[in-house]
Structure 1
């Protein structure tokens, strides 16, 4: 498994921030919830696409915040109700590449600077779902989740290159 997932840097525009936040909330978070067997990934996929207007006026992200708060509540209740791991055995590989955790944390901080906790809530959900998968409680093995999340990120980078030509991809050779 290649551990050098490319990291993307984008110009600090509302459009680029919106694209990153949308991917984090509607794609990555939903994907990890699904892979972890946690509720309700479809709720996040049904949210409206995040646009630059949402970033420029964070009150427009209230629907996203409410959905993420409800999902986190469901996840918490689900985890407290579980008496034993329903999935696979403990895994020795991470469920998500570290670079993706870094991107998620960066997006969470950026969106929080604009005045909305939406991406921070998504980041928290990603961390919980990844832990569930890594601990062997997920619906798939951690190595498969690692591949799926890396693939999601690479697909996002491809779209971003097309839509935001100033984006740069940096690969850590180390």
Structure 2
């Protein structure tokens, strides 16, 4: 499903990177886990907001990394146990649960944060991919179209915040 969703470009400031990383971990990841019926999205929401200081000194993201590793461990155990298949039956749908552009944004952000010295965004990206796969196969607790709308709305909100807070930000729309 091609959407031509706006893609924001911002100066590579610690503040902009922090805002996007915070959105990825505490919002996008938590929403997709929740909609998939996977364990412990609230753990991510309870994390402290990511600030420019976290990005400037990635060791400050250790708490976020530990929380994501814990959540991913729970998700892996949950999926290996086949809990979704017993609870929801075998799904046959294959519908995107997250706009493709958001996967691209998450992957790019994961690379940026890894380059700064922390795997936090990469772990969040993995969790989003797992949860989106569950939802896309019709095995979540919320259908794919509702998740797609929620995640797109969440992304639009962070774009608006960045555009307001970062005067150098540009919004680009891929004409393809």
Contact residue 91 and residue 142 of structure 1 kept, 8 A: no
Contact residue 86 and residue 138 of structure 1 kept, 8 A: no
Superposed counterparts of 1:44-83, under 5 Å: 44-82=44-82
Gaps of 5+ in 1: none
TM-align CA RMSD: 1.4
Aligned-pair CA distance for 1:158: 1.0
Q: Distance in 1 between matches of 2:24 and 2:160?
A: 15
Aligned-pair CA distance for 1:85: 5.3
Match of 2:43 in 1: 43
Which runs of at least 4 in structure 1 moved beyond 2 Å after TM superposition? 85-93
Match of 2:157 in 1: 155
State TM-score, norm by structure 1: 0.95
Match of 1:86 in 2: 87
Q: Which of 130, 135, 138 in structure 1 is aligned with 2:137?
A: 135
Aligned-pair CA distance for 1:95: 0.6
Q: Distance in 2 between matches of 1:2 and 1:112?
A: 28
Match of 2:21 in 1: 21
State TM-score, norm by structure 2: 0.94
Gaps of 5+ in 2: none
Contact residue 85 and residue 137 of structure 1 kept, 8 A: no
